[in-house]
Structure 1
């Protein structure tokens, strides 16, 4: 058992830099010609299946926007859920809005709001601003103001 754990740890240690380079190349391919998108998507999906939440985020965006594949909101919802559960604030924000709108599945405003709150707790500026708008519309100006201040702070510090 110890040998298997040690072998797996060694494999990760030696493949992690190459894996990171593959993901960086896949991200760079998104700015390139459409012919590069399908291989980038395959890279992101493979890394996501291996547990990389950041890769799941990119796979979700690509599926949602039809980059390297036909647009597929249901697939995007799956990848973005994985990424959000893995702690990616940008994924939490996109997932929240997809759930609120019913994009890729049945509308779930309660679940969407919960993901907005989670993204805001990680100082995601868009989530903070959206929650501020919702608070303002609900008549809670004090919370709206506090959320906007936090958003401005997050933007100032590059979050």
Structure 2
């Protein structure tokens, strides 16, 4: 808790604070500061920040800083995905899996193109089982599993 307070103080005292970084600190500082984090993420997302849209989507998905809203979560996460945020692509693929298989596959493939480990692993399973509109292929499944294993060792920093 003391570290969280120090991080919060540093983020708030920064002369030119990065709004998204500041909002991440507020989001993680606890329930009391999450509504402010949501507001800051919305501001930054409205100005074109993919990471801010991603975190805002997560906040709506998980009911952090306000009520849970799966429709708003999907909208913000898909906006983040359109702005190139790989974890958002992966989450959108999972949110759409039961309702829009083609869009889900599109976002899973996009996340795989960015070598997002969890997406590569999920596509490996989908290929092995012939799910999500992918043709069953043990050979392709093994290739994606190898790529996922490699990508785990080269994970980019969080957005």
CA distance in 2, matches of 1:68, 1:140: 43
Alignment of 1:5-24 (within 5 A): 18-20=16-18, 22-24=19-21
Aligned counterparts of 2:139 and 2:153: Cα–Cα separation in 1? 21
**Distance in structure 1 (CA, Å) of the matches to 2:17 and 2:79:** 19
Runs of 5+ consecutive residues of structure 2 not aligned to the other structure: 1-14, 131-135
| TM-score normalised by the chain length of structure 2 | 0.82
1:31 aligned to 2:28? yes
TM-score, normalising length: structure 1: 0.82
Matches within 5 A, 1:10-159: 18-20=16-18, 22-101=19-98, 107-138=99-130, 139-159=136-156
Residues matched between the structures, number? 137
Runs of 4+ in 1 over 4 A off after TM superposition: none
Query: Which ranges in structure 1 are unaligned for 5 or more consecutive residues?
Result: 1-16, 102-106
Contact 2:117 2:155 in 1 (8 A): no
CA contact (8 A) 2:20 2:51 kept: no
Q: CA deviation at 1:19?
A: 4.9
More helix by share: 1
State the 1:123 CA deviation. 0.4
Aligned alpha-carbon RMSD (Å)? 1.2
